[in-house]
Amino acid sequence: MKKLKFFMLFCLFGSMLFAAQKTTKTVKNEYDLKFNPDKYVSKETEINGQKIKYRAYENIVYVKNPVDKDYQNMNIYIPEEYFNNSSIGSYNSNNAPIFFPNTVGGYMPGKADTVGLGRDGKANSLTYALSKGYVVAAPGARGRTLTDNKGNYTGKAPAAIVDLKAAVRYLYLNDEVMPGDANKIVSNGTSAGGALSALLGATGNSQDYLPYLQEIGAADTRDDIFAVSAYCPITNLENADTAYEWMYNGVNSYSRMVFSENTTAEEYNDRSLTHSTVQGNLTEDEICNICSNPKRDKSVITIVEDMHGVISLEKTKVYKGTYHILNGLVTPREGITLDDLNVNTLLDRIEKDNVKEVIFAISQTIDGELTELYIIDLLKKFKDLKISKIANGIPIGRSIDSYDELTFLKALEDRREIEY
């Protein structure tokens, strides 16, 4: 009987110990999603002579079961006025919009941003938002290069957008206890971060992401947002340069960081590191990275009026020559002459690169035809140069950029030589 009692007590103790271990493991792995208004650091910054006092709530893990808590966290910054029943302009603790910027670039993992100076040494967007009365919630997100300690990729799609949605859900969950209005979340990003912001705005409350959100323990609430501010949203990294050139057309001065092929995600996101930079002004050669590709056939040049022509021809995936962008057409009624176009460099390229053929692929309008005639007259001095134009698949009077790649492909293949 004593042995039986001892055995029963042993089993009971063992089951209690197992339950305790299981409970301890669950608690250890789960993060509390309740916003703690008392866990902050008071800070102060300045912009244009204006001092800004705010409360910083940093490194808030926004999911219960993070895959990587170094990225699945958020920094929240709130103007001090909202804790003193004060307002900033027309905003107060109840109606202030929430600025939601991410730092994702190239679909790399992006850490939560902080109030302060940007890479250009000027006040960043978070600082400006605070000065205008916005509550700032800056989320981090996983990205394509992120791996665990076994080398398994943990940030592949749809990880980044799932993380942003989870951060939005955290804000909705805590809307009653946090200053700011979760119904007015404005997502912001540039490049891949801009594309993710656009996707975040377009897929609010989509059931497609629910299994992924449940897996990481996101709050069980909404994830739709109020607005999106997307700068040059990139969905195709192979054409990123072209997209940037189109959006920032006319902005030719630049300052870019220098990264090696071995730059890690941690180094990319470490704002305390000082990266080497290169400053300069874009030239025609720099803008057209296609032409600098050694695999392109430099003996063939296609003349286009602007970047739209380049994009359209590249979509055919057949043309392997180079391009020359005129930056416009001769337009007498607007006072635009041949001298206003990028023509002299064309003549230099033909001579330097031993060009065999020049193809005209500009709009079949009166201005386009006039431009062709003027340039052909200049090309006559190159005795062995073949001059051609895309075929009549592009109707007269229509702009080049209004046609699909199949039309372009046929017109390119059936191009005809111009006799002169």
Q: What is the pLDDT of residues 147-203, one digit of tens each?
A: 999 999 999 999 999 999 999 999 999 999 999 999 999 999 999 999 999 999 999
- For residue 303, give the amino acid letter: I
* HSE-up (13 A, CA, CB side) for residue 137: 31
Q: How far apart are CA 330 and CA 367, in angstroms?
A: 6
The predicted structure's pLDDT at residue 375: 94
Residue range(s) of every CATH 3.40.50.1820 domain in the chain: 29-239
Phi-psi region of 414 (alpha: psi -120 to 50; beta: other; left: phi over 0): alpha
The predicted structure's pLDDT at residue 26: 38
The predicted structure's pLDDT at residue 117: 82
Give me the mean pLDDT over the 104-115 stretch: 94
- Residues 201/186, Cβ–Cβ less than 8 Å: no
Q: How far apart are CA 250 and CA 103, in angstroms?
A: 25
* Tens-place pLDDT, residues 238-261: 777 666 766 666 665 656 655 554
Q: Which residue is it, tokens 């789960």?
A: 30
Output 380 or 287, whichever has higher pLDDT.
380
Give me the mean pLDDT over the 290-312 stretch: 82
- pLDDT above 70: residue 413: no
Q: How far apart are CA 162 and CA 223, in angstroms?
A: 10
Output 251 or 351, whichever has higher pLDDT.
351
Query: Residues for the chain: how many in total?
Result: 420
CATH 3.40.50.1820 corresponds to the domain 29-239: yes
The predicted structure's pLDDT at residue 414: 64
Q: How far apart are CA 153 and CA 174, in angstroms?
A: 31
What architecture is the 287-417 domain classified under in CATH? 3-Layer(aba) Sandwich (3.40)
Which of the residue ranges 101-105, 401-405, 408-412 has the most confident prediction, judged by mean pLDDT? Answer: 101-105
Terminal Cα distance for the chain, rounded: 116
Tokens representing 237 are: 């990294």
Torsion of CA 222, 226, 229, 234, to 10 degrees: 40
- pLDDT above 60: residue 206: yes
Q: How far apart are CA 161 and CA 194, in angstroms?
A: 11
| Closest alpha carbon to 59 in 39, 75, 78, 35 | 75
- For residue 31, give the amino acid letter: Y
The predicted structure's pLDDT at residue 20: 43
Helix (H) or strand (E) holding 52: strand 50-61
Mean per-residue pLDDT of the chain: 82
Work out the number of other CB atoms within 10 angstroms of the CB of residue 28: 7
The predicted structure's pLDDT at residue 270: 64
* Tens-place pLDDT, residues 81-101: 999 999 999 999 999 999 999
Residue range(s) of every CATH 3.40.1360.10 domain in the chain: 287-417
Burial class of residue 17, CB neighbours in 10 A (0-12, 13-18, 19+): exposed
Give me the mean pLDDT over the 123-148 stretch: 95
| Closest alpha carbon to 80 in 61, 51, 55, 105 | 55
The predicted structure's pLDDT at residue 397: 41
Q: Give the Å distances, CA to CA, from 245 to 284, 318, 324, 361.
A: 11, 22, 15, 20
